[in-house]
Amino acid sequence: MSDQLALDGGTPIRSTPFPQVGDASGRTLGEEEAQAAAAVVRSGRLNLTVGEQTRELEREFADYYGVGHAVASTSGTAAIHLAVAAVNPEPGAEIITTGISDAGTIMPILAQNAIPVFADVDANTGNLDVESVRALISDRTCAIIAVHLFGCPAPVTELRELADAHGITLIEDSAQAYLTRTDPDGALAGTVGHIGCFSLQQSKHITAGDGGLTITDDDQLARRARLFADKAWPRDTGERTHLFLGLNYRMTELQSAIARIQLTRLAGVVQRRRERAEELTAVLSELPGLEPAPSRGHSYWQFPVFVDEHTAGGDAFRYAEALVAEGIPATGGYITRPLYLTPVLTEAQTYGTSGYPLAQARQEYAPGLCPVTESLINGRLLVIAWNEQYTSGDVADIAAGLRKVHAASHG
């Protein structure tokens, strides 16, 4: 095969599509899920208030994670909203989080009239830097939301200690981190903080199309989260009343029936993703300037590579462009800009033209706020799509693409 890059007219490494999460090729959905969904339809009970699938999913997920409570909702964003609502922040209270994540991490903060405060991240993982978080804690801080980016474990053991020392709540956004193991104790991501949040969106390790799960061992947090998901209607008391401002985030029985089957497949999904990741990690050791995230505990929602532009001969955008031309699914930077530079924050697009509650923000949402975050998004972070259906042959093609681009970058 020609060493000339496909970008420059050479022959691509790959001409056939990789398995992908957008269709059946990269999902574990099968006949069992179809039968489970059909059974719900035949029962005529599609709502959790009359069905049993959602409550069973909650029990099974809580048992799977070894916690006291799981509360189902409509999406991963909703799962985080339940967590923030359970904390019940005062208007203008601060919640510290990361600038490199999906917007679903911060929208619930604003929806509860709280203010996102952004800490910087570790250059080798993209996860929250503990000392950056520590420096931002004030008497207005009520919570921390730590994201396990791409399935790489965030330092939640240290963050839990920090949260407990200051009497604040640690929320884990584990949407990308099913069965991620945290260091140093090896606990499951989502169980170290006071509350853990998961997503069942199309692209996640397991899926029901959409859906969320919020877990906790705290009885009071669990009850408030459950109430918030159902208009604060205490159905267990038999009263038709509403105890506080809540929304309708009820998961449907169809989603729950599919998710219950998917949960039985989760361990195998993560195992296969890890096995294939080991193969690519070994290849990257041969390519100076391309560094994978630490593998310990990682569950590989995606496969991140940290690029040293000078040693690698190009930044993440150059590598992504060249890899895509070779038929390898890759992106540079992950998101277009840090979350704190999106219009919802920079233009205070919240409630009408009031800008509330951001007029009270201590941080200015401007370039330079989190330098490491910005360096990753602006050229240090290469993200390779990952999937449990990848074969060793698929990984060999990805490796060949990386070797080819790396060699050409040093030509």
Is the CB of residue 95 less than 8 Å from the CB of residue 143? yes
Amino acid at site 278: E
Overall average pLDDT of the 62-72 stretch: 98
Can you give the length of the chain in residues? 411
Q: Please tell me the predicted confidence (pLDDT) of residue 312.
A: 97
Which DSSP helix (H) or strand (E) runs through 198? strand 195-199
Q: Please tell me the predicted confidence (pLDDT) of residue 214.
A: 99
Backbone phi and psi for residue 119, each to the nearest 5 degrees, phi listed first = -100, 160
Percent helix, strand, coil in the chain (nearest 5)?
Answer: 40, 15, 45
Q: Please tell me the predicted confidence (pLDDT) of residue 1.
A: 55
Handedness of CA 125, 128, 131, 132 (dihedral sign): positive
CA dihedral 65, 70, 75, 77 (to 10 degrees): -90
pLDDT tens string 178-187 = 999 997 678 9
Q: Please tell me the predicted confidence (pLDDT) of residue 185.
A: 73
How does the average pLDDT of the chain come out, rounded? 97
Query: At the topology level of CATH, where does 31-262 sit?
Result: Aspartate Aminotransferase; domain 2 (3.40.640)
Q: Cβ contacts of residue 141 below 8 Å, gap of 6+?
A: 93, 94, 95, 96, 117, 166, 168
pLDDT tens string 320-330 = 999 999 999 99
Handedness of CA 399, 404, 408, 411 (dihedral sign): positive
What is the domain partition of the chain in residue ranges?
Answer: 31-262
From 262, 319, 270, 269, select the one nearest 290 (Cα to Cα).
319
Residue 82, sorted as left (phi over 0), alpha (psi -120 to 50) or beta, turns out to be alpha
Handedness of CA 111, 117, 122, 123 (dihedral sign): positive
Residue 374 has pLDDT above 90, yes or no: yes
pLDDT tens string 129-144 = 999 999 999 999 999 9
Which DSSP helix (H) or strand (E) runs through 383? strand 381-385
Please, is 272 exposed, middle or buried when counting C-beta atoms within 10 Å of its C-beta (0-12, 13-18, 19+)?
middle
The tokens for 127 are 């996860």
Is the CB of residue 137 less than 8 Å from the CB of residue 125? no
